[in-house]
């Protein structure tokens, strides 16, 4: 039965965000839309939280879900995101990491609001928290939403480009764990650690360093990757025995859901995803 399910996996999207972090739609909306467009396998990978998995619809079949999370980390002063697949979300080290990020993001938001006030833009932590919803996991797009709402900027890109993007006037770094520590925590939680959108790394050589740290795979296809990068990441993965994944990094903008209905994963990537999903299913048996 498991083999049949795995061989049926052809339409995938393994990088999706919901309202549990900075997405525009609920976990139920994402799952129901994925079923509607007949995806075979998805992963909800909210930033530093697995809360979405407490809000899934009761009926998921025939859709398959690979539990996931996108975890923040730092390497040589640069942001690195690691996709954690198949983790035990009750693992204490993973729960402690999520808690650290949750609390740290709120503290960071307060400091950024203070910097924005000095620039003549007055918003409150309560307004930002309201954008974050019941989970209160505050990320920079929530600050951007309030800035838009109050007429200080026209859109999210302007908010980031002028004020809250990395190293802009109202930027504050969030607390970070090292890439090596995050990989180790994912492994302790029984999961697989995949480098998210490696084409966006500030230094391409980081990939080889992460391989040395014990990374399990690369997100080969991502909408921000050029085809030559996809080809290079496939070659790197094959040369180093790594898993390959693909996802649209969907967040949504409050309008109609579009999950990049078919992520253009080649058969090479799909075969790797099937093996990854099979390993996950075997681990939880």
Residue 118 burial (C-beta neighbours within 10 Å; 0-12, 13-18, 19+): exposed
Residue 223 burial (C-beta neighbours within 10 Å; 0-12, 13-18, 19+): middle
* CB atoms inside a 10 Å sphere around CB 208: 10
Q: What is the pLDDT of residue 5?
A: 61
Q: Report the half-sphere exposure of 8 (CA within 13 A, side-chain side).
A: 12
190 within 8 A of 87, measured Cβ to Cβ: yes
What is the CATH number that goes with domain 97-164? Answer: 1.10.150.650
Q: Summarize the chain as % helix, strand, coil (round to 5).
A: 45, 15, 40
The tens-digit pLDDT sequence of the chain (285 residues) is: 455 566 689 999 999 999 888 888 999 999 999 999 999 999 999 999 999 999 999 889 899 999 999 999 999 989 899 999 999 999 999 999 999 998 898 999 999 999 999 999 999 999 998 887 656 778 898 899 999 999 999 998 999 999 999 889 999 988 889 999 999 999 999 999 999 999 999 999 999 999 999 999 999 999 999 999 999 999 999 999 999 999 999 988 756 677 666 799 999 999 999 999 999 999 887
Residue 142: both structure tokens together? 């929530």
Q: What distance in Å separates the CA atoms of residue 12 and residue 25, rounded to the nearest whole number?
A: 19
Q: Which residue has the tokens 């990088």?
A: 15
List helix spans (H) across the chain: 2-7, 27-36, 92-118, 125-132, 140-149, 156-159, 179-188, 206-213, 227-240, 267-283
CA 75 to mean position of chain CA atoms? 17
Query: DSSP assignment of 124-136, as one string?
Result: -HHHHHHHH-TT-
Number of H helices and E strands in the chain, helices first, is 10, 8
Report cis status (omega within 30 of 0) of the bond before 62: yes
Domain boundaries, the chain: 2-96+175-283, 97-164
Please tell me the pTM assigned to this model: 0.87
Domain spanning 2-96+175-283: CATH superfamily:
Metal-dependent hydrolases (3.20.20.140)
Q: What distance in Å separates the CA atoms of residue 18 and residue 172, rounded to the nearest whole number?
A: 24
Q: What is the pLDDT of residue 1?
A: 44
CA dist 163 → 157, 181, 227 (Å): 10, 30, 32
CA dist 166 → 72, 160, 192 (Å): 14, 8, 28
Residue 34: both structure tokens together? 């994925």
Q: Which residues contact 280 (CB under 8 A, 6 or more apart)?
A: 66, 67, 85, 86, 192
Q: What distance in Å separates the CA atoms of residue 154 and residue 23, rounded to the nearest whole number?
A: 19
Q: Which residue has the tokens 């949504």?
A: 252
Distance linking the first and last C-alpha atoms of the chain: 13
* CB atoms inside a 10 Å sphere around CB 167: 6
């Amino acid at each position: 039965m498991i083999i049949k399910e795995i061989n049926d996996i052809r339409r995938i999207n393994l990088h999706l965000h919901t309202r549990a972090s900075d997405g525009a739609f609920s976990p139920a909306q994402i799952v129901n839309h994925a079923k509607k467009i007949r995806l075979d396998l998805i992963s909800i990978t909210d930033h530093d939280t697995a809360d979405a998995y407490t809000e899934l619809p009761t009926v998921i079949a025939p859709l398959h879900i690979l539990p996931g999370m996108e975890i923040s980390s730092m390497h040589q002063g640069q942001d690195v995101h690691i996709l954690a697949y198949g983790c035990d979300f009750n693992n204490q080290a993973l729960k402690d990491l999520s808690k650290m990020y949750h609390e740290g993001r709120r503290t960071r938001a307060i400091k950024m609001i203070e910097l924005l006030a000095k620039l003549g833009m007055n918003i409150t932590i309560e307004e930002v928290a309201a954008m974050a919803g019941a989970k209160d996991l505050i990320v920079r797009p929530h600050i951007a939403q309030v800035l838009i709402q109050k007429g200080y900027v026209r859109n999210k890109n302007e908010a980031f480009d002028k004020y809250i993007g990395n190293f802009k006037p109202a930027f504050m770094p969030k607390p970070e764990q090292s890439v090596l520590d995050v990989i180790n925590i994912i492994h302790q939680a029984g999961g697989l650690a995949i480098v998210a959108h490696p084409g966006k790394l500030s230094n391409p050589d980081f990939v080889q360093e992460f391989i040395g740290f014990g990374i399990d795979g690369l997100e080969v296809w991502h909408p921000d990757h050029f085809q030559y990068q996809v080809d290079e990441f496939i070659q790197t993965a094959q040369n180093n025995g790594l898993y390959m994944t693909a996802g649209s990094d969907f967040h949504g903008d409050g309008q109609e859901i579009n999950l990049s209905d078919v992520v253009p994963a080649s058969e090479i990537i799909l075969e790797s995803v099937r093996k990854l999903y099979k390993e996950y299913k075997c681990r939880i048996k």
